[in-house]
Structure 1
């Protein structure tokens, strides 16, 4: 039922594209260029997520639904996404059966990941990500066309469809973020048009596909409560029941079968494995990076001063996946503490949405909510920065300050994902992708905002020039990006020369700390923008 409702929304979007061929043709051309690049990346490195998703295809196509979340035939690949994503995997497996790919191992349950994937398996899974990116294309076009004039639209489509971070995570590392972010953009496009009911359905489909998007649920609830459920008491109550009914229907369609089979507790335990610890083995560049560093510095200083500092149960710098949640000096952090911090940090946009629910600010509010989840959440992965950088790309052309902010943030976000591709043959690829994207951003923003870099001596001889023309990212932005280059040079050249193979976690730690500085500045900047706008 949920999939039929969502499919009808997509069909409705396709119908609305008719008669507006120019915008669609431009976007399709951009998507085709990106698809060619993605095709070239098919033989590149793939993470263990590749085998995870292959296993989920096999699991959902060969194991009864009631055992999907209890199956442990491959302990490293247990299903830990919500049911709608599992149904999505089941749909992806249907063409494989028709094509006779079962003998190739695509739909074979294996207790351990194979050392290599056969060519048919590799092609099928890689192409499935490219094809499902059509959802992202459709949603991007719909949102950009609805809210932007032609000049801005072209820039935004380039930023969305040619995102290097999305290429790295989905088409090299391997995931389906493009498909999921497409549903998010589709929901935002409905909100922009005042189609709150359709937006609620799309967002429900999203969080029933990947529960990490729940971060924005409080904002959606407050906004829809105030914007959709308005009017007289009877009218507001009726609308509340309608919205609750359609959203509830999506959740019933997704989770209902597992309630029926008595598996709902097992499903929830898979979706929320709090035992994984506060931080991942590679720290996401967020607030907790500084908390860990301060704790370690205090432990060292106090130990030198003669204090008996107990050693934590698990080291944050061991590079191992485990319960990395114990601190030597600072107070221990629990999932409840991170939940409260996320909720408190996003409270300004919740208050704004309650007081004056305006669709024109919603993309900014949603991006800020996801930023709060990234900054203060429990066991955050660096890939989660896509949840706010993609929406921020849509509003990056709203003002020069938005363009500057997105330029720096997108570079920091993409660079923080560089450690995902650690093999030497992928190094030129990730550097080239980010460099070309930065050049495209510079050209696009500079031409749109008519920016000209004016030498200092010209400003002295012609003071009026400084009033009329300005640099793009400014002095501090330039210094920060040069520091980013310094961190990369240290990790690639100086660290191996000085330390050899010892202290392998130090370059990763430097990337996390330095990128965290940029992320914290981005969070503070977004908060300031929300507080200043009425």
Structure 2
């Protein structure tokens, strides 16, 4: 038995690489497809990090796409630029102008994202190496074959898989009780992309309580080691810019609060309802005779570049959103302090990113990946978690559809979502139907025979029917189909060019309902007694 188990563990790496290979083949087929302006953004970052000294990276304005990520990501671009220069020197020529579209740059950047996903693979491998086979394979499917990552990284174009690999790696260390390494990897992640800092309060409270709270002398020693390690990471990232007196410039680039509360495609979060309420109040008050001035950057205009778009309700500032995120996080922080369990860390981190998505400032729809991917770890733990994840991941993926607005990409995104639904259904059915049968056939204690017998019958019935979701989930998912049919087919046919903002607005509102429900569901799990 031991030899068989050891053999299985030894074969784990080739198995996970096979999952990666299948995903890479699909992604290679998508190389010629649509890409957003982010493609040129990263191409320019390759050029500026290759052509300019470090002291000029955050000062460069030769392109509208100025560097606004933390230094480690700039160093990552500098590393990629070495290979880009070997393939085509024009890629890294800062004087090359905008929108360089040679095949060399298209293939290089697309393949660089595919290869960078190997770091995501490493994070998934470390998280799943001790799981039983079915749960492990299910986690691989949910993360490595995530349709959201395909849409955002391999069509729209970004490097979220690489960044999420650091997050998963950090979670894997924390789950193993290796707190120092978990904190170190998270600090590295923050120096790659600062938007992951939403989970920093969870890390701080958890590590302080679980790692440092070990008596006065020992605790102070551990706190000093952790603090020195994190400080060393930030010193390595920001030290050169502190030396050149540019740290304020770097921070201005990283935190451009003037962009406004909402992104151009109103991410499905709490502020959608706040904006709608403001518009409805303004409309009603104008009808009854009040002189209400509606700001030019209205909800239907995308709210780009205007941080004060409200006509009636109080204006929202970055400080307001910061306070709201902390308040939403507070139950999780209290729980992490009272009972710092390594097995709960993935759930707490996912909840933190859900709070940031719902109540944060200038949230992009792509940020839903920050909590959907960690929740894939949780989804393989129980039937209830699986049901929640099934609906949430569909909502998240659907909310990304506007990123691919050209007609030729429409079948791709629909097929990706449908394939994801089918794989989830098959995987969850196989896993939890088997669990239900095991529970139904397990012997029950004598005092509870009648009650347990009833629960066994329910479990067996559930197993016979496979993986099922509740009627509320079914109705909600059917509503997504209605929203899509209206926006894609009925609205253009019935209204033509009138009210062009309505399909996007309906999508944002409807997806917001799903994300808000997920937040409440996660909060219920956070606060329930354990």
TM-score range, shorter chain: over 0.9
Q: Distance in 2 between matches of 1:218 and 1:112?
A: 42
Equivalent residue, structure 2, for 1:48? 37
Contact 1:315 1:324 in 2 (8 A): no
Equivalent residue, structure 2, for 1:91? 79
Q: How many residues align?
A: 504
Give the unaligned 5+ runs of structure 1.
Answer: 1-16, 453-461
Matching of residue 101 in structure 1 with residue 85 in structure 2? no
- CA deviation digits over 1:149-176, x for unaligned, max 9? 2221111111110000000000000000
- What's the RMSD between the two structures over aligned residues? 1.9
Contact 2:487 2:503 in 1 (8 A): yes
Change in Cα spacing, 1:451 to 1:491, as seen in structure 2 (3 Å) is farther
Contact 1:156 1:397 in 2 (8 A): yes
Q: Distance in 1 between matches of 2:253 and 2:414?
A: 35
Give the one of 25, 42, 46 matched to 1:36.
25
Contact 2:322 2:360 in 1 (8 A): yes
SS at 2:497 equivalent: coil
Matching of residue 275 in structure 1 with residue 258 in structure 2? yes
SS at 1:72 equivalent: coil
Equivalent residue, structure 2, for 1:21? 10
Superposition pairs for residues 490-509 of structure 1, below 5 Å? Answer: 490-509=486-505
TM-score (norm 2): 0.92
Equivalent residue, structure 2, for 1:468? 460
- CA deviation digits over 1:33-66, x for unaligned, max 9? 0000000000000000000000000010001111
Contact 1:414 1:434 in 2 (8 A): yes
Give the one of 95, 104, 115 matched to 1:120.
104
Change in Cα spacing, 1:221 to 1:464, as seen in structure 2 (3 Å) is closer
TM-score (norm 1): 0.92
Matching of residue 400 in structure 1 with residue 375 in structure 2? no
- CA deviation digits over 1:350-404, x for unaligned, max 9? 0011111110111000000000000000000000000000000011011111000
Matching of residue 184 in structure 1 with residue 167 in structure 2? yes
Equivalent residue, structure 1, for 2:203? 220
Structure 1 residue 95 displacement after superposition: 1.6
Matching of residue 420 in structure 1 with residue 403 in structure 2? yes
Equivalent residue, structure 1, for 2:118? 134
Matching of residue 63 in structure 1 with residue 43 in structure 2? no
Structure 1 residue 281 displacement after superposition: 1.0
Give the one of 441, 444, 454 matched to 2:427.
444
Change in Cα spacing, 1:239 to 1:171, as seen in structure 2 (3 Å) is same
- CA deviation digits over 1:282-316, x for unaligned, max 9? 10000000001111111111111111212224212
Change in Cα spacing, 1:395 to 1:95, as seen in structure 2 (3 Å) is same
Structure 1 residue 325 displacement after superposition: 3.2
Q: Distance in 2 between matches of 1:451 and 1:487?
A: 35
After the TM superposition, which of the residue ranges 22-31 and 311-320 deviates more from structure 2? 311-320
After the TM superposition, which of the residue ranges 46-55 and 490-499 deviates more from structure 2? 490-499
- CA deviation digits over 1:418-455, x for unaligned, max 9? 00000000000000001001000001101111189xxx
Q: Distance in 2 between matches of 1:501 and 1:395?
A: 44
After the TM superposition, which of the residue ranges 160-169 and 306-315 deviates more from structure 2? 306-315
Equivalent residue, structure 1, for 2:306? 323
After the TM superposition, which of the residue ranges 223-232 and 487-496 deviates more from structure 2? 223-232
Contact 1:183 1:206 in 2 (8 A): yes
- CA deviation digits over 1:217-264, x for unaligned, max 9? 011011111111122211100110000001000000000000000110
